[in-house]
Amino acid sequence: MQRLWNVFCTIAVLTVLIALVLPNPAAAQAKAASRAPESAATSGRPLHLNVDAASGHKVHVMATQPQVKGLADIGYQHNGGTPPLLYSGGPVMHTPTVYAIYWIPKTLQDGTPTSLSSTYQSIETTMLKEYFGHSLMNNKTQYYDTKYITNTGKFGAAYVDKSSYPGSDCFDPAVGAGLLTNGNNCISDTDLQNEVTKVMGIKHWTGGVNKLFMVFTSSNEGQCAVSDSDCSYYTYCAYHSYFVNGSGDDVVYANEPYGNTSVCQVGGAPSPNGFPEADTAATAAAHELTESITDPLIDAWLDSSGYEIGDECAYYYGIALWDGGLANEEWDGHPFYIQTMYDNLTQSYYLTDINFTGCMNAGPEL
């Protein structure tokens, strides 16, 4: 009887603790649970998320939804990841500033019109502005390098670039699945680096490990990190990476293809902003922003399989308690439907799915 009483008290204390470290409405519905037991099928490295770009450096990709669903269907947890996240010695962002570059020429390479509306841009910019000081940024405060991350940061600026896309430097095979109209409408990782460098010069923006430059592009514009191999909608929905510029500064950047609801979102996902493609892009952008903060040079916080904080929980949203059930985040009155992020401190708890223990909408502030 005494042992049963001790177990009951332990469960009660853990339940209180989880409520305290999850300062958002979903906390009340969090369930205490042991981590689901791993089977032989759930170990290993099923998705290769760190790929060598054609320019000779690593990019870290956000896999498409069909890829991670395929893993879940055969018994993998955390999209095939092997949490917890482990510190590998690299830097994190302590004073993050994020910049948005909307690259929207008049036409694609084949002469067809581009599409990246002002409404789409506004939804992305609003998410990036509101991210700091709220729930998902709070999750980062348990991660560190020489000191802990704090819930601070800011949106630097947005820039609309109407200059033409380069001539086709790659072929995006997603056209074969009907996800693009022309695979030759394609920009490479080198093109993205050149675009970031150009806009930094125009706007006199400087580099450094605490800054992130996110490049958003038109619908029907493909991108390839590795020519004709690792490409948008075919293997990934977004990615982040870095390069060293002429001044010797690290330049952290993210590739944000146009939101594709077929392969970059779960079926039936709500659209709190009434624009499914923009809401899809917002969760991908939050994924890359979060990972850039905790792993800007791809050498800080990863699990033993190379997964980052967003990969463990990609396409898992927890509980939508805002905007009549359409949103799982609401920041200063702005609703969003954004994936959960991995929380080392709550790795034995889950919101609605035991296959996503530790995937939370918020986290503790240390």
Chain segment 17-27, per-residue pLDDT in tens: 334 333 333 33
At which residue do the structure tokens 């290993």 appear?
44
**Looking at per-residue confidence, does 287 or 29 come out higher?**
287
Helix ranges (H only) for the chain are: 2-21, 65-73, 118-131, 135-139, 189-203, 276-294
Percent of the chain with pLDDT over 70: 86
- Distance between the two ends of the chain, CA-based, in angstroms? 37
Cβ atoms of 271 and 337 closer than 8 Å: yes
Residue type, 75: G
| Confidence band of 227 (pLDDT split at 50, 70, 90) | confident
Residue 105 in 3-state DSSP? Answer: coil
Domain that holds residue 173: 2-360
User: Residue 84: CB partners within 8 Å, gap ≥ 6?
Assistant: 303, 342, 344, 347, 358
Residue 250 lies in a domain: yes
Residue 102 lies in a domain: yes
Q: Domain count of the chain?
A: 1
Residue 84 lies in a domain: yes
Q: What is the pLDDT of residue 167?
A: 87
Express each pLDDT in 290-337 by its tens digit. Answer: 999 999 999 999 999 999 999 999 999 999 999 999 999 999 999 999
Residue whose C-alpha is closest to residue 212's, from 131, 142, 333: 131
Residue 232 lies in a domain: yes
Express each pLDDT in 104-146 by its tens digit. Answer: 999 999 999 999 999 999 999 999 999 999 999 999 999 999 9
Q: Residue 7's Cα: distance from chain center in Å?
A: 38
Residue 184 lies in a domain: yes
Query: What secondary structure letter does DSSP report for 346?
Result: G
Residue 243 lies in a domain: yes
Query: If you write DSSP's letter for every residue of 319-359 in order, what string do you get?
Result: ---BGGGTBSEEETTEEE----EE-GGGTTEESS-GGGTTE
Residue 365 lies in a domain: no
Express each pLDDT in 229-285 by its tens digit. Answer: 799 999 999 999 999 999 999 999 999 999 999 999 999 999 999 999 999 999 999
Supply the mean pLDDT for the chain: 88
Residue 366 lies in a domain: no
